[in-house]
Structure 1
Amino acid sequence: MKRKGRNNQEIPKKKKKKFSKFRFYFFNIVLGVIICLLVAAMASYAFCTVHTVTVKGNTVYTEEEIKQLVLDDSYSKNTVYAWGKNLIKPKTDIPFVSAIKVKIKGYDKLEIDVTEKKLFGCVLLSDNRMAYFDEDGKVVEVSDRVIENVMQVSGITLDKAKVGSKVGLEKDQLSFMLNLLKILKKYDIAISSLSFDERGRITVVYGSILICVGNDTNVEEKIMRLPHILPNLEGQSGTLHLENWTPDNTDIVFERPKE
């Protein structure tokens, strides 16, 4: 018999809730994914211990220094962790380095690719630190570390330097120096140092040869002659005078040291 309530109205039966197939499959899929992740994590922990690390692109730091800077916690001995950590939060605070990329090369092998900041030269500061600048004259690093094979500007000492700002030389000096360095690079002439005298004239050092460039007049015309001259002076020491060169006076004198 059907149940009746007040006023003889029939009371509808409550429907039983059915567990839908969608919920069933969704629950099982999620559970399966969680189990797979747990198995993968345990396998990674058990089998992916770092045994070999290759470092590429480093010149400022040694291979061991890069390893210590990048793999800097106890969990980094795991290849998957080290890769994931660098992917999510890459190292951005290493001086002279613009980017670090960690790659997995095997279950127990990592490769660390280092991209270093491009250093065009450096200037001494009054606190004995060095201000390193790029080809646009912007300071990219201030450090007490002396980097080999980076051209040093002498004859001037700066009181301070700020990363991201121009090197604190006078505008004409900076323009002359950067233009000269770009021309030297164009003709593949690698110098070890550059100096200003009290009149703003520049002398550069190439091996054991001093090259007096002079002022900023006819700079490229002077430098473009060096690839033809320097091979003939290989193994010698002395001073090469370009400062008086003009289109009307093309004499270039090489002065050997007095015995």
Structure 2
Amino acid sequence: MKQKKQGHKMSHKIYAFIVILLGLAILLLGAFLLTYVQKIEVEGNEYTDSQEIVDLVEEDPLSLNSLYLLCKYRYMDYEMPGNLRSIKVSLAAPWSVRVTVSEKKILGYVAGADGNVYFDREGTVVRKAPDVMEGVPCIEGLDVSGAELYEPLENGDGKLFDSILAVTEDVKELELAPDRVVCSGEQIQLWFGEVCVLLGDDITTEKIAQIRPILEKLEGQSGTLHLEHFMEKGDAVTFDAGELP
């Protein structure tokens, strides 16, 4: 009799263990199905193709799980593309992932034989494309024949790119619209029609501010406006009529 009772209790324990095991398996399967990534949304990108970011996220074999992606982009190390500053992942739903990116700011572009080469303030190539982005200045005088995506341009040092940055920011702020921005050695030239403005290697807002009122007086003329040595209001500014670099 005791043996029958013990056997009966043992069978109950085995049955309970199997039920618990099956329950856990069902819960795990449910959790897996619930967090199985069915949708990836991308936001914050202006010039990077959304599909490129989706492909980047999906490169990881474990990216099928939304909780894994959430942990990866918060607590783990991952490779950052050269055109992005940050990647943040959040969940719109357990099965829907939202990827928010912060792109590096484009400083300008150079027209190359194989399309336009866009670079940031450090001179790193962040985009190569045939189209022209609105509001991005075209820079002449930089060699981009060997430019590689996410690699620094071979010509130009940090000082040159700082000068380009200062010029593009001041020109935009003062609502000037040069037809051409030319790098000549380590100096910057601004072209307004047939007037070339020489800024020298020391770019200041005060220099850029002199351009508009002077151009209004030079309407219809061609020549070179020398602002290389301008420091403050009252300094002499010369214009060589008919002479262009």
Q: Percent identity?
A: 19
Pick one of 163, 168, 179 that aligns with 2:155. 168
73-82 or 62-71, which deviates more? 73-82
Deviation digits for residues 177-202 of structure 1 (CA, Å, limit 9, x no counterpart)? 44323422443657685214589561
- In the superposition, the TM-score normalised over structure 2's length comes to 0.57
Counterpart in 2 of 1:76?
A: 63
Higher relative contact order (CA 8 A, sep 6+): 2
Query: Separation in 2 of the partners of 1:228 and 1:76?
Result: 58
Q: Does 1:155 align with 2:137?
A: no
For this pair of structures, how many residues does the alignment match?
207
43-52 or 157-166, which deviates more? 157-166
Change (3 A) 1:96 1:37: farther
Report the 3-state secondary structure (helix = DSSP H, G, I; strand = E; otherwise coil) of the residue aligned with 1:61: coil
Deviation digits for residues 23-43 of structure 1 (CA, Å, limit 9, x no counterpart)? xxxxxxxxxxx9998666432
Deviation digits for residues 7-60 of structure 1 (CA, Å, limit 9, x no counterpart)? xxxxxxxxxxxxxxxxxxxxxxxxxxx999866643221222333332111122
**8 A Cα contact 2:104 2:120, kept in partner:** no
Q: Does 1:101 align with 2:88?
A: yes
Query: Separation in 2 of the partners of 1:192 and 1:38?
Result: 68
**8 A Cα contact 2:83 2:127, kept in partner:** no
Cα RMSD over matched residues?
4.9
- In the superposition, the TM-score normalised over structure 1's length comes to 0.54
**8 A Cα contact 1:104 1:111, kept in partner:** yes
Pick one of 34, 37, 42 that aligns with 2:29. 42
Segments of structure 2 that go 5 or more residues without pairing to the other structure are: 1-20, 240-245
Counterpart in 1 of 2:197?
A: 213
Change (3 A) 1:92 1:241: farther
Q: Does 1:224 align with 2:209?
A: yes
Query: Separation in 1 of the partners of 2:67 and 2:203?
Result: 58
Deviation digits for residues 42-100 of structure 1 (CA, Å, limit 9, x no counterpart)? 32212223333321111222222221221225543332233233334354242311221
Segments of structure 1 that go 5 or more residues without pairing to the other structure are: 1-33, 233-237, 253-259
Change (3 A) 1:157 1:248: same
Counterpart in 2 of 1:110?
A: 97
Query: Separation in 2 of the partners of 1:39 and 1:229?
Result: 78
Counterpart in 1 of 2:41?
A: 54
